[in-house]
Each structure stands twice: as structure tokens, then as C-alpha cells.
Structure 1
């Protein structure tokens, strides 16, 4: 017992691309956010360290008296706190004043306004913290700290140093910037998702319409109409091509129905005629002379039936590549004149005018004379059928155009209606007027075009109007 293979899950174009775009957007914004946080943190720390150096220099200038001594007034604690607020620091930096040997002249508490004259607890700071203007200090689990120092000078003499200590985690606190960054990235993410959702929806709408129309066509209904507008070139071409395909399928279905009815009628009529004529001869209803005439008519009907069936078989065989084209080098001047003259001999009791024009120089081409004859005779027959009764003219002209020799067959008939001109090379198509006047399968022009293309040439409808019609067939010159 066979079980149907489970089809893989399918997602709509809108969901598929918006989901993937959203994932890509989120990942990209997260990477940008990480890089931005690192950059903001580093930039903020560098800027605050530079401002701390400026603050240390200000303090160093304030604590030098006119007689060249270091005096630390209590008001300096307010200066440190005020400057720390400008730097948006939660805690003011730990500040020390030391002499050139590293002895602490004022520690953190005293510098912040301890009792006047009180001496700090005996401390000493390693010269390595103030000999350089900026020093990184590794605090282990607590992270890093930075020591900023500025010399206290009286002229060229160095009286001491102002040393300010900041923890890296305090310098890197920038909550406001992080909030702005988060708002910006979230806004960009939402905007990007909305844009891709809108664009994907606009893109998927005509494609969905084409898919729905394709399902309708697959069910045998070719009467579909795609109305979704598309400004994109590729989407427009897709919709337009599908619309044209559906229209052609509808025409082909109509042609098929007409062909079935036409072939049934065209085959039934001669068969009925042949049957009646032979039955009359069999029943001896007619005399000997009449019987002979009836048999002649029957043979003509049989011959016409054979030609119709032969045309259909030849077309199908050539479509599948079963009929070869045997090329040989021939004079196109002689070939065209011979074909036209032979065809003219078959047109007994016809009063139309026929003109053949060939160039003075001889043109040679590698063609299959039999296939060229089929093409030209079919064009001549069509041109003759387009002429009004007992009047009109045909013209066959051979000329050279570049690397091709062209044979044009024109008539002075009423022309092909404009609505039918694009369909003349469709297989099984027969014009409205031609359906009533002549019998056939509508394969002459499609078959002739296939033969011309097999030679490396082409067959086209050059022009058609109320003054006449011209078909042109081209063959490559040898």
C-alpha cells in the first residue's frame, strides 16, 4: 500500500522574508549595540580622565600661596564636589596632596574639610603614582582604578602633587547615553521591520495573485484576469507574461475546439459525398457516363482527404524533428521562377495577374528545394484565396538584403483584420472569413514558418491593410 510522501512545510513569502529580515536586523543591531557600548564607555572614561586632569591642575593652582607655600583651604572640598557633579560622577574622586617624596600632606577626609590645622594620619604614596600624569591600577576583583596627578609649582620649583583616584566603574557610568542608544536601536529595529513588512507585502501581492491564477489555469479555466498593479519591472513582466500565457492557452483551447469541429465537418462532408456517389453507382442509379463522372468526383474528394491528413501528419512529424531538411546549393532566381510558373499552371480558368521579379545577379543559397516549394506554394495559395473574385493581382519578388535573400509574396486583397494579425502563425488558427470560404486545418503558415526556421531563416507578416497583404520569407545566402 502506497502512502503519499509528506510535503515539506511551506511559508508565505511575506512571513518567510520578514522573519529572516527581522532576525538579521536584530542580530545586526545587537552587534552595533555591543560595539557602541564599548565605544561609549571608552570615550566617556577618556573624556572624564582628561577633565579630571584639568580639575587636578585647578586644585594645584589654588593651594599655592603668594610666598610659595602649600595651603589647603576648606573651601576646596566644595570645588571638588562641584566639579564632580559636572562630570556626572556619583562619588567625587579620592584626592590627596603629597610632597615630592610622597608624604601625604592632606588625605581625603582632611581635604574635604577636616578641622583646620588638623594633620592627616601619617601616610606615604609611592612616587610611581604621581611621577606619571596617568597611572592604571589593578584592584583585582574590584576592577581597575586610575590615578591622575598634577604638580604643585612655585615658579620652576615643584612643591608637591595633587593626586586624584577614580574607580573605572565610576568613570564608565553613562546611563543616559545607554538609554538613548537603546531607544535609537529599538526605533531603528521597529522602523526596519515595518519597512520590510510593507515592501514584502507589496512584492508578494502580485506573486500571490499569479499563484492563485495558476491554480485556476491548472484546473482548465483559462479565463483569468490579473489586475494587481506592479511598478517593478520584473514583477510586471511576470504578471504580464502569465496574462499573455493564459490568453494564448485560452486561444489554443478555442482553436482546439474549432479544429475538432472543423476537421469533423471537413472529413464528414467528403466522406458523405463519396459514400453517396459510390452508393449511386452501386445501385445503378446513374448511367455509365454519369457513373464515370461520379467516380472522378469521388477520387478528387479522396485526394483532398489525403492532402488534409498528410498536412496534419507532416506538421506533427516536423514539430518532433522527424522530417529532415536536405540542403543543396541552388540558384534562388531559377528556383523561385520555376515554383511560381508551376503553380501558375495549376490555376486553370483564373483571371488574376501574377508578376515575378528577380534581381539581375544570380543568388545562391543552401536550401532544400522541396521545402522552399512547400513554403512558396502555401503563401501563393493563401494570397490567391485573399483576392476578390475575377480580379486582383499577385506579386512575387526576390531580392537581397544583407546576408539574406528574401522572397516577398503580396496580394491586393482586402487584408487581414488587425485583431487577427498576431494569430496568423498560431497552429490550427483560421480567420473568421477563411472559415467560411475554404476548408483546412489552419497549419499552413505555422508549418511554413517551421520550415523557414529549419533553414536558418524566418517567415513573417510584413504588412496587411485594406490594400493588400505581404508575407516575407528569408533564407541565408551561401
Structure 2
């Protein structure tokens, strides 16, 4: 024997959300760090240039101070290793940083413009900033690029902490979000498992985001629907057991009487008629149950063709006129007396008409009318069965097509059948692509059932379970 397969292990939603938010934050941190890494270098260089340029402008405004520094061959600020070059009005360049002033730079300063460039001095790369002097020359200051590197390192070092805090904060936010999402989902999943195990009357708190709250609402609605459906099924089974038990009890009683020779002689034919009637009653009930089951099946077959509903109703009227006459019921037929073609299954339409007529005849008293009508309804057709019986209340109409609803309500009050006839009519009409409605008061005083059939073949039917 093969060992039972175990369900594949999957990570939790909480872990997935935390991992996802952390990964997104990590990518954001890396991209931000790479961008900032380059920008910091540029900003550090700009800051050093700006500071060096301001110093050059100050010295350029005081040529005697610049000349004194030049004569002493001193650096401006020893720690920063800033060196000076002086461009005289004649174009000569003097000072420790003279090697950084090229012809282009000298012409720029002599024309009264500032100088900002990069050069090499004593084998090192340096920043070069120059400003024109009031006497017509210019003053140039240089600073090693190592100062920019030091400033860059300081600024990049200060970037690590906020990036780390951002990554940690994203992970914490992901954990909080995951907890907020996962907790109601776990609660909903537990409720769904309990519903599958048969528990009812459960409530899922509608908390969390709108989608999660909608899921909770759907489960609560499902719980209510399952409860209602199971209650109706339980009532239906009780009704079925009652319908079957009564004729079975009668059949068993007469069978025992015949076996014990309690019924003899002239009483035997009467007992046989009673037994046959009860058996026929059982057959009708079982037949209704089978018909209802077939209508719920996915492979229920329909043979569609062009059907003349006027001719179909005329044929049905002949059969029902005779049955109504035996019960002294005034049968009437209303039809256009001209072809009324629709694309449908004629056998199933006749089955539908017979079922509604059977239901109407059961409750129609002697002397009252029963009407079978057909007429055009736009591109399709409309069938009606009306009776002169007690009719239906608004509450009756609301449950008329539920299995056994009217039978349970009126058992012992008026003649009732198996309780499946109207449920079968509803499903059969749906299979035919039409609609069926009930009205409590027809012109004849009783109930009216109206079936609207389309003129063309039906779309595929999706079975559903009625309460």
C-alpha cells in the first residue's frame, strides 16, 4: 500500500508578509544607499570647493595680506594643507601652488572671472579655486582632494544608522501588518473548518481590512445559509418519512389482515383496491423524488426542436378536460388557435403543464373553474394555469417553490400532494430557460402560476440547490 500523501508544508502568511516587507525595505535601502553614496561624494566636494572659494575671495580683496603670505611661503591653514598662488597683473604666477595655474586659468583670472578646477600638485590631486584681485591679477588657493575624501567618509558613516533604522522599522511594520491581516484570516479559517465539521451558529468578527471583513461577512452568511438549508432538509426528510410511513402502515395492516385471514370473502377485493391505491401513492411520491433528483443532475437531457405550443396545449386540454369532468370541475382552455412556435423540449413542456394542472386540480372544488392558457409573449410564449381553489397568501407565495413548504403548512387543511410538484415545476422551468411565478389571486378566485418560455434554445444550466 502506498503511504497517504501529506499536504505540502507552506510558509505562514505572517512569515511571508514579514519576509516580503523586509525584502522590499532592503532593496529600497540598497538603492537609496547606492544613490546616496554617489551624491555624498559630490556634495562633499561642492562643500569643500565653496569653503575654499570663500577663502580665496577674502584674500583677493586684501592683496597686501596675500603678498605677505606669499613672501613668507606659508600655507593658509596648515591642518588643511591649503596652498596659495598669486597671478600678477603682468601675467606672472608666483607661490607654492603656481604649478596648478595653467594658461587657460591665468587668462580667466586676468579677465576678472573666478576659477574652479582640479589639478595635480606635488603628485596629489587638489581642488583649485581662484578669484580676481582689485589690482587686475588673481589669487588661487589649492586644497588636497584628501580633504574631500575625509568629508565623504564622515557623511557616509552618518548614513549607515538611518538606513539600518529604516530596514528595522520596515521589518517591524511588516510584522504588525502581518499580524493584523493574519489574525482575522486564521480566525476565518478555523471557523470554516468548524463549519465543515458540522458546527453551526458561528460568528466571525468583521475586523481587519475591508477584504478580510468581507470574507468574515461571507462566512457568516454561509453559516446562516447552511443552517437554513439544513433546517429545510431536516423538515423535508421528516415530511418524506411521514408521506412514506402513512401508506406503508396501511399496506402493512392490510397485508397482515390478509395473511391472518381477518379479511376474507367479499372484503378481499376492497382490500386489494386500498392496497393498490396506497402503492400507487408511494409510486407517485418516489417518482417525484426521482424526477427532482434527475433535474438536479448535470447530465439532464433536453431534446430541443421547434414546438407549436398551441397544438401542445390543445392536446393537453383533451386529457385534462376528461379528468376535470369526472370531478365536476369546470375546465377551460384559452389558446390563440394558430401556430405558436418556440424552440424548446416539447416533452418537458407537457410534463410542466401536467404537473401544474395536477396541482391545481387537487385544490379546485367541484363546480369551480380550472383554466389552461397559452399566448404569445414578445418573442417567446406564456403559459398559465389558474384555478378556483382557496388561493395563496403572500407568505405562501414566498415559499411556494420550496420542497414540501405548502404541504407542511396545509396538511389536514386542504388536499395536498407529495410537496415536490411545485419544486419540480420550478427546476423544470429553469432547465427550459424560462421563469415561473406564482400569484395568490387569479380572476377565477384561486391561484395563478405563470410560465414564460423563451423563443430560442437555452443557455447551459448550472444546477443549484434550493432550500
- TM-score when normalising by structure 1: 0.73
Counterpart among 138, 146, 158 of residue 127 in structure 2: 146
Q: Tell me the alpha carbon deviations over residues 163-216 of structure 1, each in whole angstroms, 9 at most, x when there is no partner.
A: 322324536626886687566556655665555444444433442222111211
Q: Name the CA distance, whole Å, in 2 between partners of 1:209 and 1:410.
A: 52
DSSP-derived class of the 1:173 partner: helix
Label 1:275 to 1:35 Cα distance change in 2 as closer, same or farther (>3 A): same
Q: Name the CA distance, whole Å, in 2 between partners of 1:343 and 1:91.
A: 120
2:197 aligned residue: 219
| Residues 441 and 448, structure 2, Cα contact 8 Å, conserved in 1 | no
- The worse-fitting range, judged by mean Cα deviation, of 258-267 and 295-304 is 258-267
Counterpart among 91, 115, 118 of residue 135 in structure 1: 118
Q: CA RMSD in A?
A: 4.5
Label 1:476 to 1:313 Cα distance change in 2 as closer, same or farther (>3 A): same
- Give the alignment of 1:415-430 within 5 angstroms: 415=393, 417=395, 421=398
2:45 aligned residue: 45
1:117 aligned residue: none
DSSP-derived class of the 1:407 partner: strand
Alignment partner of 1:406 is 2:387: no
Q: What's the CA shift for 1:433?
A: 0.6
1:92 aligned residue: 80
Q: Name the CA distance, whole Å, in 2 between partners of 1:273 and 1:442.
A: 20
Count of aligned pairs: 440
Label 1:7 to 1:405 Cα distance change in 2 as closer, same or farther (>3 A): same
DSSP-derived class of the 1:417 partner: helix
DSSP-derived class of the 1:477 partner: coil
| Residues 41 and 172, structure 1, Cα contact 8 Å, conserved in 2 | no
Counterpart among 313, 330, 334 of residue 336 in structure 1: 313
1:273 aligned residue: 250
1:375 aligned residue: 352
DSSP-derived class of the 1:163 partner: strand
| Structure 2 alignment gaps of length 5 or more | 107-114, 457-467
Label 1:465 to 1:175 Cα distance change in 2 as closer, same or farther (>3 A): farther
- Give the alignment of 1:181-196 within 5 angstroms: 185=163, 189=167, 192-193=170-171, 195-196=173-174
1:86 aligned residue: none
1:114 aligned residue: none
Q: Tell me the alpha carbon deviations over residues 269-300 of structure 1, each in whole angstroms, 9 at most, x when there is no partner.
A: 22231233344456554565532222122112
1:63 aligned residue: 63
Label 1:445 to 1:22 Cα distance change in 2 as closer, same or farther (>3 A): farther
Q: Tell me the alpha carbon deviations over residues 208-262 of structure 1, each in whole angstroms, 9 at most, x when there is no partner.
A: 2221112112222234233324662x44543343333333433443444444443
Q: Name the CA distance, whole Å, in 2 between partners of 1:382 and 1:10.
A: 57
| Residues 435 and 453, structure 2, Cα contact 8 Å, conserved in 1 | no
Q: Name the CA distance, whole Å, in 2 between partners of 1:384 and 1:332.
A: 21
- Give the alignment of 1:70-469 within 5 angstroms: 70-72=67-69, 91-99=79-87, 104-105=94-95, 107=96, 125=99, 127-128=101-102, 131=106, 133-137=116-120, 144-152=125-133, 154-155=135-136, 158=137, 161-170=139-148, 173=151, 185=163, 189=167, 192-193=170-171, 195-229=173-207, 232=210, 234-281=211-258, 285-286=262-263, 288-321=265-298, 323-339=300-316, 342-343=319-320, 345-347=322-324, 357-358=334-335, 362-383=339-360, 398-409=374-385, 413-415=391-393, 417=395, 421=398, 432-434=408-410, 442-455=419-432, 457-461=433-437
Q: What's the CA shift for 1:371?
A: 1.1
Q: Name the CA distance, whole Å, in 1 between partners of 2:373 and 2:214.
A: 39
Q: Tell me the alpha carbon deviations over residues 7-49 of structure 1, each in whole angstroms, 9 at most, x when there is no partner.
A: 4434432332133212222321232133123213313322432
Q: What's the CA shift for 1:315?
A: 3.0
DSSP-derived class of the 1:324 partner: coil
